[in-house]
Structure 1
Amino acid sequence: MSDSRQDQVDADSSVSTFVSALWFNAALGVGFFGAFLILRKTRPQTFAPRTYATSIEKRPPPLSDGRISWIWHMFKLSDDQLIRTMGLDRFMILKFLRMGIVVFVSFSILAIPILFPLNIIGQLDSPGLNLLTMGNVRDSARTWAHLVLSVILTAGLIYYTFRETRRYLVLRRAYLMSEEYRTSVMARTLYVPSIPQDINTVENLKLIFSKFPGGVRHVWLNRDLKDLPDQVDERQENVQKLETAITKVILASYKHNNKTRSDSDALQQQQQQDNAENGTNNNDTSSYIIPKKIRPSHRVKPSFMPFGLPCIGRKVDSINYYNDEIARLNEEIQAKQRNVKNLVQRNSAFIEFHYQSAAQMAAQTLVHHTELQMAPRYVQIAPSDIIWDNMNIKSFERLIRRMISISITTAIIIFWAIPVVFVQSISSLDSLSKILPFLSGVKNLGPTVVGIIQGILPAVALAVLISLVPIIFTYLSKFEGIPQKSFVDLSVLHKYFFFQYVDVVLVSTIAGGILQTLPELINNPTSIINILAENLPKASTFFITFVMLQSTNSPGQAILQLVPYILSFIMPLFSTTPRDIYMQKTTLPGIKIGTLIPSQTVIFILGIEYSTIAPLILPFVSLFFCTNYFVYLYQFLYVYEMEYETGGRAFPRAIRHIYIGMFTWQLTLIGLFAVRGNQALGQLVIMIVTLVVTAFALGLYDKSFKPLFKYLPMDSFEDRETDINLTAGDKEERIEYLKDESKAPAKAKNNGDDDKTEVPFSSTKPIDDDDRRGLTYPDSTSSQYSAAHGGKGSGIATTSAMDNAGLRQRNNNNSGGVAGSNDDDDDADAEALHQRVLAKLENEVTKSNTDDDVHNPVVASAISKLYATEAYMHPAVYRTQPPVWLPQDELGITDGELKDLKARNVYGLDIDATAFRDAKKKGKGKVEIDEQKLVVEHRGIPGSLPVPGTHLSYVQNYIRTVVDNINFFGAIGPAGGDFLSGAFGG
């Protein structure tokens, strides 16, 4: 009687747990997705920023305005469109989600109609949801069905993983051999660490690596820059603080002097009064004198204090202080940039080859006779992907750091299991109360309350616990000395997966079984195998509720973006400067594959683990992959941006996780068959054979595919590189040149290692692929940059946009010494070449003495080469001062400040941004930027230099920006010329 009553209580508890979780998660899903459908069109900056804030060629197609019809249009997009829009990394995540949909939807249709009747009818009549599990089967003959379905699922997974991997490799090769990628500097550049001191020179490195086809093009030696990067960052901060201070003054002045500049009499009277107060005699109404009471000030922290405190420190005028600080930093940075050649070399370098195949071969060849020297080498590192702080770590030190990192990771995984066990135990209050009797009263609160406690709280608590770990793993991965940001993310992917695999899958499963059987184990320790085999299927209820939560909560939060939605109303209130407004409108939310993919592979593993043991989990795993595919298809197209592109390197790691899950599942089934003794001997033997076959399949997988994940096979190149400098784009231009100019093209040449090809639009040497470093890292920066947009600046010559013809069509007979000369190309030392190009560039701009230098083919060629030589230099070596970007105003404050900036040798401008009186705010000031030009047309912040190695249009803007810098600092005088030379590393 007592046992029957307890079984009924257990059944009610199990069912109420499931029902409570089902209703809770259904409500979450309806709420999240319903709210998204309603709000989607109201805030494009939250729900569709990639339609305007990313580069034009990467923008997704617009969706219809209907509430539901847009979904159909989104699903109709082809794979080619998806790859073009989102890149291969994000596309392969979608491919993995598709794989999950196909596997679990098809297996649900196959397995549930077979296993549910076999598990339920005429068997043990276990309480609650345990009735649906394999643990309810008394007749061992029925387990043949579980075995056959398990073998079918194993065969299907092996076939599917091999097929999808082959398709991935086809896509990866197409990506790496695409015109846009293979003509990029990233495709041909090799990172070499741990270089012995006696070899670490440009000459020696060129001698070693010139043995590969085509030879060496450029060598970048990494140097210890000491505090130079910190000073460059400090200057950037001061520029932004100065922009904030001046912009706030402009807005406050509108409020203080709430009149238009046309009220000249009142304005002059006000200025005369302010002149008297400030001790000045300036009657020029074009420059508004800032009243003292609205002129900003702040306290400077004492030098002996690590941080500032309120009311402590010298009080200074903010505008004057930041002006002086920028001028001081300009001088100090200039001096260090000018002498960067004398800084201590680090033990690493970047080698650029003429051929992509040479870089691939060099990465796989044994280069040095001493162990761990000049190894391991990395190919395909984008300039924006480099972790500069890890450039001086030797290979042996990396091994030690990796061992420390693995040890700490292991400790975290082990000790994090303690709270996970407690959380999982809440899902079984009955068994927990046997150990902790004081909790028995909780069971009397009623089935609904108990169901909420067991069905909702554990899953939520577990999700919170595991969300805290990636931050620690990211730090550990950087500590290992990994040289690439993308590889740090891949390292986090492995760590985070094993954390979830151990603490979520294994610990939770074992903890559930042990807690339910602990009293019996104490009385009869030898029965542990039988007891665990019987009770492990009962732990499935917790995982079913956990998968439910992940199916609705995680994707629902991702697509609704409630916090970003709220912040989209709040942040504009704090965005005052043109730069703040621009960044607020163009900054895209990112996605980290290191945390995203493990969350998906763990659900995949749970689906496999319980597919035949507790088949009720299958529909919810199917739901997980369906909702995640819908959400991330939309988010990857319209919302999320990635900082880098790895060519889908995370996909094979996800496949490997599937095999780990298969091993766990098969070992569990072997244990379940083993405890049944001779009655399930046949099933046991076949399951062991299945495990061996799976292990063989994984070995074959690694043997067949692993090298192809890292390198390109030589047969991929064939004749592609015989004329690498004459790409399809050049050939089209050559045809157009013949049509438009009626001139015969020069005969193309291929001179062995030099690989120089003459084209009709080259004056000395073709710009070749240096100005097409576009797509070295597609969209790796948040914007394009443009200096001269037709507004006023601090003495900067403004020019019209440069077109390709002005860059390409040059006089072949021009003999002026520029960067494109053969002498320059023979110099592999990128630093020396950079200095020589800059000197010739300054001479050419000074000699031309025109405001139209961006149309000068000699200047364009030189700056293109300058851009190329900066690709693998530390940004602090060549970065100039970012312009102080101010809004034009009616009061003339900006005009006066720009004059002051110029007098201090500080670069400033006031284009594409305006401050005006806002009638809606009773005449208070408001700042706006030219969104059409800067955001929609994707021209970016005026006057800022782009990151080298990004996109062709960036090179065009770079030419415009460098010319304007030369004009500005040249107009200042000798001091300005010295600054420019230092700023560009001359």
Structure 2
Amino acid sequence: MPPPLPSKSLFGWLPIVWRITEAEVLEYAGLDAFVFLGFFKMSIKLLSICWLFSSIIISPIRYYFTGDYDQGDGNDKTASDSPSEATDYYTYLWVYVIFTYIFTFVTKHFLMQQTRKVIECRQKVLGSQKSVTDRTIRLSGIPPELRNERALRDTIESLGIGKVSKIVICREWKKLDTLFHQRDRIIRSLEIYWAQYIGTTKNPTFNIRPYAESSYPLTRDSHRYRDDDEEAADESISTENDISESDILDYEYTSNTAVEYDADSSTDSNPFGTFGSAVYKKRPQIKLGFKGLWGKSVDAIDYYTQQLKVIDEEILAARQRHYPATPTAFITMDSVATAQTVAQAVLDPRVSFLITRLAPAPKDIIWENVTLPRKDRVLKIYYITIITGIVGVAFIFPVGYLATLLNLKTISKFWPDLGDLLEKHEWAQRFVTELLPVYIFTFLNFVIPLLYVWLSSRQGFISHGEEELSVVSKNFFYVFVNLFLVFTMAGTASNYWGYLSDSKKLALQLATSLKGLSTFYVDTILLQGLALMPCKLLVLGHIMRFVLIKAKCKTPRDYRELYRPPLFNFGLHLPHPLLILIITLLYSVMSTKILSSGLAYFVVGYFVYKYLLIYTCIHPQHSTGQVMPIIFRRVVLGLLLFQLTVAGSLALNNAYILAMCLIPLPFLTILYSWNFERNYLPLSFYIALRAIDKEPTVEPNSQISSGNLSGHVLANGVSLSSLRSSTIDERREFNQTYEYPHLVQSLDGPWLAVNSEQVVMATADGTIRKRFTLEEY
């Protein structure tokens, strides 16, 4: 468990969070959290060095020649307002060239250092795992003649790669999906009426006595009485294999009598809500007419219990039917090394046949998409991709026009009356040109990414992990193009469409725009870093659930879902820090103020996100660290823009020779990126065979002392000793299989009560106490 936090100190959590090591981050939050926090640490180191050079060398030299500590302070005469007008050459600009090279190579050094650390950690952590996920591949493009287990097994094993342990061929189980959706609606309605009958409480501190001290009626059809012998026999009844602990509770039919439960809050505190002592003598009734507004009145519990019985019979019958096979299968090999070999191999000489990929974790699979026919899934992928592109282009127009608020000259051109008004009232001008754009920028940063999350969830991805990586790419594209390029160019250019379409003018206009927007970006970065970032500690979205949803909670299942910990989505949290780092790099030789605000942003963000990932949020996806290539490519893009911007700034001051001195930098940066794609990218997706632990000393989910791993030390002092016997993914995936859940899932009854460890469910024979398994948290 993570170290406890002080309860009476406002800032006492800071040193505790700081002392949590990288190995502990791996143990408590997984490899993706390790990569995410490593990006923040890398940014802090990088910006600290840039800030030191800028504050000690660049800004003093600039102040000596121009009288301005930062370029763009207002009195700066080194650049004109129009890209077409060049000013005199200033001798101090040679400093820009030197430090553009220095900052580029410093960024490359820290980025490659972080990449190597992630790869080494990834190889050691994933190479030591032995879960079913690490031994399984996903095979797509299976031809019709191989869509049966025997033929597919023989084909794979005939290749001489290794032995197959298990094959699960995905089928078109859409009918079962529909039945389980109907069952979920029925069982939730049944739970509502059970809660009305036996009572619920908004003060969740009730204890349910587990045995014959309490009784309740199931339905009016339950007329069977039990004698002592029957009760003793029933206590020995076992439940499904996946129930680790269960008790059969006694019951008897008690028509027209109240049911009483013990409500002694001092013995057991239940944070999820249970039924208490408030009961109804009369069973709830419903009308069978339209929306329950008219028609015959019947007993609600009996009605939905009968519906549940009917739907369960349909499900049992549907499980026995034959369903057409899809061209997708999950193949579990006999070892991790075999799975990695197969995943990296080309199995078929034909195009688009027998395509191998590493499989997502069983709990991570979106089975509704897996069971879709191939043409339906491909259709979803294409039309959501088209919609996403249309949405991205459509937002260029409102963002472009809203960005005209950044500059009074642009406002006067588009809205002359508004420009005249603002020119007469200085306070209104400062509000419209300085504060309002910052709030608009922040609001769009918050709202639009949620739209891309929703679009990605409809795109037909096989797993939540693939969906999350797609959200990262979509959201970064939006914030970079719409909220940076368009917002920046439109803020100072009267014809920014012409500049965006002309690569020759892009560098000049970008340099001019950034010169005039330094105050805007300082305000924006400080607002997000110092004002909004600490607010994330409150997890406002989760708090709003209590404000808006708690009053609507009616059943124990509702309370259980209400108290689930918030999920951490890297697609929502990673793109904005990436953009902030790019903006800070663009200004690194021009503005010490933005370097200072960017450094403060990442320092505050590191503590905030470390706290959230360790103590507050969960990241349920199988953690593989595949977000690192996304970070690498975006930072390289930032470097290219940085070099282009400095070249444009030099050209604006007639320093064409100095601008030409920067020509080698983009080519060196592209070569640097090519080296990553060729040599480092495969290690970011696969595990090297030599890195796989061939003879594991411990089984997954077993417990050993940390001393057994004390010798495993990664680069930069990262120790794996605290990983103990297994990783967080191994513990989550213990005893999981790739069976289609609706084929093997137990048909549990309605929930009557729940606490942090187990649930009381109604069955046809009484009640059962079922303990939550680890993956259900």
Q: TM-score, normalised by structure 2?
A: 0.78
CA contact (8 A) 1:86 1:636 kept: yes
Match of 2:180 among 205, 208, 232: 232
* CA-to-aligned-CA distance 1:670-709 (integer Å, 9 cap, x gap): 22333444x440x222211111111111111111101111
Partners of 2:174 and 2:289 in 1: CA distance: 24
Match of 1:205 among 148, 152, 155: 152
* Aligned pairs for 1:443-592 within 5 A: 443-444=422-423, 446-478=425-457, 480-515=459-494, 533-534=511-512, 536-562=514-540, 564-565=542-543, 567-568=545-546, 574-585=552-563, 587-592=564-569
Partners of 1:109 and 1:422 in 2: CA distance: 38
Q: Which residue of 2 aligns with 1:193?
A: 140
Alignment of 1:691 with 2:663, yes or no, is no
Alignment of 1:61 with 2:3, yes or no, is yes
1:775/1:202 CA distance change after superposition, 3 Å: farther
- Which protein has the larger Cα radius of gyration, Structure 1 or Structure 2? 1
Match of 1:387 among 337, 359, 366: 366
User: What is the letter of the counterpart of residue 697 of structure 1?
Assistant: Y
Q: Which residue of 2 aligns with 1:831?
A: none
1:531/1:195 CA distance change after superposition, 3 Å: closer
**Partner SS for 1:130:** coil
**Partner SS for 2:605:** helix
Partners of 2:509 and 2:670 in 1: CA distance: 28
Q: Please state how far the C-alpha of 1:169 moved relative to its aligned partner.
A: 0.6
Q: Which residue of 1 aligns with 2:745?
A: 879
Q: Which residue of 1 aligns with 2:285?
A: 297
Q: Which residue of 2 aligns with 1:738?
A: none
CA contact (8 A) 1:132 1:616 kept: no
Match of 2:317 among 335, 342, 355: 335
CA contact (8 A) 2:525 2:580 kept: yes
Q: Which residue of 2 aligns with 1:156?
A: 106
CA contact (8 A) 1:194 1:395 kept: no
Match of 1:242 among 185, 190, 193: 190
CA contact (8 A) 2:177 2:368 kept: no
Partners of 1:242 and 1:559 in 2: CA distance: 37
Match of 1:218 among 166, 177, 184: 166
**Partner SS for 2:352:** coil
1:875/1:630 CA distance change after superposition, 3 Å: same
Partners of 1:149 and 1:886 in 2: CA distance: 67
Match of 2:404 among 425, 429, 437: 425
Q: Please state how far the C-alpha of 1:406 moved relative to its aligned partner.
A: 4.4
Q: Please state how far the C-alpha of 1:532 moved relative to its aligned partner.
A: 6.8
Partners of 1:528 and 1:198 in 2: CA distance: 55
Q: Which residue of 2 aligns with 1:89?
A: 32
* Aligned pairs for 1:712-861 within 5 A: 712-717=687-692, 720-721=693-694, 727=699, 778-779=731-732
Q: Please state how far the C-alpha of 1:189 moved relative to its aligned partner.
A: 0.5
Match of 1:287 among 254, 279, 283: 254
1:887/1:620 CA distance change after superposition, 3 Å: closer
Q: Which residue of 1 aligns with 2:352?
A: 372
1:536/1:634 CA distance change after superposition, 3 Å: closer
Partners of 1:213 and 1:316 in 2: CA distance: 63
1:564/1:442 CA distance change after superposition, 3 Å: farther
Partners of 1:667 and 1:90 in 2: CA distance: 33
CA contact (8 A) 2:468 2:571 kept: yes
Larger helix proportion of the pair:
1
Partners of 2:153 and 2:509 in 1: CA distance: 68
CA contact (8 A) 2:172 2:372 kept: no
Match of 2:633 among 650, 656, 663: 656
User: What is the letter of the counterpart of residue 879 of structure 1?
Assistant: Q
User: What is the letter of the counterpart of residue 326 of structure 2?
Assistant: R
Seq. identity, %: 22
User: What is the letter of the counterpart of residue 297 of structure 1?
Assistant: Q
**Partner SS for 1:220:** strand
CA contact (8 A) 1:885 1:908 kept: no
Q: Please state how far the C-alpha of 1:387 moved relative to its aligned partner.
A: 1.7
Partners of 2:771 and 2:90 in 1: CA distance: 76
Partners of 1:296 and 1:220 in 2: CA distance: 45
1:313/1:608 CA distance change after superposition, 3 Å: farther
**Partner SS for 1:687:** coil
Q: Please state how far the C-alpha of 1:460 moved relative to its aligned partner.
A: 1.6
**Partner SS for 2:534:** helix
Q: Which residue of 1 aligns with 2:717?
A: none
Q: Which residue of 1 aligns with 2:328?
A: 348
Q: Please state how far the C-alpha of 1:565 moved relative to its aligned partner.
A: 3.7
Q: Which residue of 2 aligns with 1:611?
A: 588
* CA-to-aligned-CA distance 1:759-815 (integer Å, 9 cap, x gap): xxxxxxxxxxxxx999655547xxxxxxxxxxxxxxxxxxxxxxxxxxxxxxxxxxx
1:566/1:700 CA distance change after superposition, 3 Å: closer
CA contact (8 A) 1:218 1:353 kept: yes
Q: Which residue of 2 aligns with 1:135?
A: 79
User: What is the letter of the counterpart of residue 145 of structure 1?
Assistant: V
User: What is the letter of the counterpart of residue 51 of structure 2?
Assistant: S
User: What is the letter of the counterpart of residue 674 of structure 2?
Assistant: G
RMSD: 3.8
Q: Please state how far the C-alpha of 1:214 moved relative to its aligned partner.
A: 3.7
Match of 1:599 among 569, 576, 580: 576
CA contact (8 A) 1:417 1:503 kept: yes
Partners of 1:241 and 1:570 in 2: CA distance: 20
Q: Which residue of 1 aligns with 2:245?
A: none
1:143/1:185 CA distance change after superposition, 3 Å: same
Q: Please state how far the C-alpha of 1:943 moved relative to its aligned partner.
A: 5.9
Q: Which residue of 2 aligns with 1:758?
A: none
* CA-to-aligned-CA distance 1:31-56 (integer Å, 9 cap, x gap): xxxxxxxxxxxxxxxxxxxxxxxxxx
Match of 2:678 among 699, 703, 723: 703
User: What is the letter of the counterpart of residue 225 of structure 1?
Assistant: W
User: What is the letter of the counterpart of residue 746 of structure 2?
Assistant: T
Q: TM-score, normalised by structure 1?
A: 0.63
Which range is displaced more, 214-223 or 567-576?
567-576
Q: Please state how far the C-alpha of 1:288 moved relative to its aligned partner.
A: 5.6
User: What is the letter of the counterpart of residue 507 of structure 1?
Assistant: V
Q: Please state how far the C-alpha of 1:134 moved relative to its aligned partner.
A: 6.1
* CA-to-aligned-CA distance 1:304-342 (integer Å, 9 cap, x gap): xxxx4x6266644211111111111111111112x14x2
1:401/1:235 CA distance change after superposition, 3 Å: closer
Q: Please state how far the C-alpha of 1:659 moved relative to its aligned partner.
A: 0.5
User: What is the letter of the counterpart of residue 451 of structure 1?
Assistant: R
User: What is the letter of the counterpart of residue 715 of structure 1?
Assistant: R
Partners of 2:392 and 2:461 in 1: CA distance: 22
**Partner SS for 2:167:** strand
1:475/1:145 CA distance change after superposition, 3 Å: same
**Partner SS for 1:373:** coil
**Long gaps (5+) in structure 2:** 81-86, 202-216, 226-250, 259-279, 706-724
**Partner SS for 1:589:** coil
**Partner SS for 2:170:** strand
**Partner SS for 1:590:** coil
Partners of 1:127 and 1:711 in 2: CA distance: 46
CA contact (8 A) 2:456 2:470 kept: yes
Partners of 1:157 and 1:232 in 2: CA distance: 52
Q: Which residue of 2 aligns with 1:12?
A: none
Match of 2:127 among 177, 194, 197: 177
Partners of 1:202 and 1:427 in 2: CA distance: 64
Which range is displaced more, 575-584 or 187-196?
575-584
CA contact (8 A) 1:187 1:776 kept: no
Q: Please state how far the C-alpha of 1:528 moved relative to its aligned partner.
A: 9.6
Alignment of 1:671 with 2:648, yes or no, is yes
Q: Please state how far the C-alpha of 1:490 moved relative to its aligned partner.
A: 0.3
**Partner SS for 1:468:** helix
* CA-to-aligned-CA distance 1:948-983 (integer Å, 9 cap, x gap): xx69xx9xxxxxxxxxxxxxxxxxxxxxxxxxxxxx
Give the number of equivalent residue pairs: 675
CA contact (8 A) 2:119 2:683 kept: yes
